[in-house]
Amino acid sequence: AGDLIARLDLDDPSAVKRAEPFEGSFPEMTLPIAASGQVHKRCAASLNAARMVLAGYDHAANKV
């Protein structure tokens, strides 16, 4: 972990915007609404929601 695999020389280094640490807060967690009574469908919906959150998308638990 932490190995350097490439080095880039930019044409205009001043055009790069540095990332800033997140200083906000996360919304209050609520109980999700079950998408279905079937376990495999609930599992698939939960897995999809987790993947979307990890990809950076906003996931409102009370909206379909």
Q: Quickly count: other Cβ atoms within 10 Å of residue 35's Cβ.
A: 15
**Tens digit of pLDDT at every position of the chain (64 positions):** 678 888 888 899 888 888 889 899 988 888 776 667 788 888 888 898 899 889 888 776 555 4
Calpha distance 38→40 (Å, rounded): 6
Q: Specify the pTM.
A: 0.38
Would the CA dihedral through 16, 21, 22, 24 be positive or negative? negative
Which residue bears the tokens 């998408």? 35
